[in-house]
Amino acid sequence: MEPGDHGSEHDDEPAEIKSAPPGLGPLTRRSALLGMGAVAGIAAVDVGGFAYAGGWLRPDALTPPRFADRFEHVYGQHDGFRRNHAKGLSATGSFASTGAGAAICRAAVFQPGSVPVIGRFSLGGGLPDQADKPDTVRGLGLLFQAPNGQQWRTAMINFPVFTDSTPQGFYERLLASKPVPGTGKPDPQKMAAFLDRHPETVAAMKIIKQSPLSAGFADSTFYGLNAFWFTNSAGATVPVRWSVVPRDVAGANAPGPSRGKDYLFDDLIRTLAQRPLKWRLILTIGEPGDPTNDATKPWPQSRRSVDAGTITITAVQTEEAGNARDINFDPLVLPDGITASDDPLPPARSAVYARSFTRRAEEPKSPSEVNVAQVLS
């Protein structure tokens, strides 16, 4: 779930990543983006973890362990927690399909009907006890459980584009974003040098800064960012990006006048104690020429979209054994009908997520920063 060079983590863990699909390129994962210069206002950006995608046969090659180590180098090691999006709440709910998605995808989840959903709300970054801030990236991971036993897992964030187009770019940004002792901010020269080398990140940050921030989790739109191929029952294949759009923005609770350390999560807990929250699952269909290998570039707003159904979250739970705490929201866990595109980030995320999962599964667990019972007491 995170990158690393040489850090506080075990570099010699079981090589589950070495069995990653060949030819997928190096690693990628997305985590910290500390504001400064063109990235001002963004505290941490991440979709999950970037993975080992392929064979960089160099001594300094990016590997899942080194990526995970780097997250620990930036955030410190916090046993039992994800290396990125460490702070979070588990969630449960359902997805009610309209059946419209079946026109472009044969996956069982898009057939008319309802399926269970396990989710996780989170904040980007590797600090499980960080204070909530409005400009910190918000994440939503979902696991759809289809009746045929297949699963669809996705990890989304509240930014319309990703900040990096490759695993290497993400890794370099993570290095440049490490806070300097004394200031708590990235080294201006290192960040400026990174941005000079990566104009795609500068362009993506401009798009992100122009997107208004919502009040909290309940009224956030979450984006899948990466393109995938959807194939229907007739064998026709189209590129698709997806997002989940809140159905009742007007009904979302605004933060109270006194914002505590965990106010984003506290507001989410209190809202769900009163009523369920609903999002529409929107599938956007790409056309020839739309990039499928670069998550920093948006598709035109004129692209056709399909309202595939409604995601309803009915409750959140303190992270503990048996709920979403122990789920790896691997973006390559896909049902029949959905396949990865040529985007290098999902395979990278998949491998780093696996490394992060392996590490935290072997570590002692600490209590979650956010406790549902305490908030409601």
User: What are the catalytic residues?
Assistant: 85
Helical ranges in the chain per DSSP H: 64-75, 167-176, 188-197, 199-209, 263-274, 345-361, 372-376
Q: What distance in Å separates the CA atoms of residue 254 and residue 272, rounded to the nearest whole number? A: 14
Q: How many CA atoms lie within 13 A of 241 on its CB side?
A: 29
Question: From its phi and psi, is residue 70 left (phi > 0), alpha (psi between -120 and 50) or beta?
Answer: alpha
DSSP 153: E
Quick one: CA torsion of 321, 323, 328, 331, rounded to 10 degrees?
Answer: 180
Q: What distance in Å separates the CA atoms of residue 131 and residue 287, rounded to the nearest whole number? A: 41
Phi, psi (deg, nearest 5) at residue 372: -60, -45
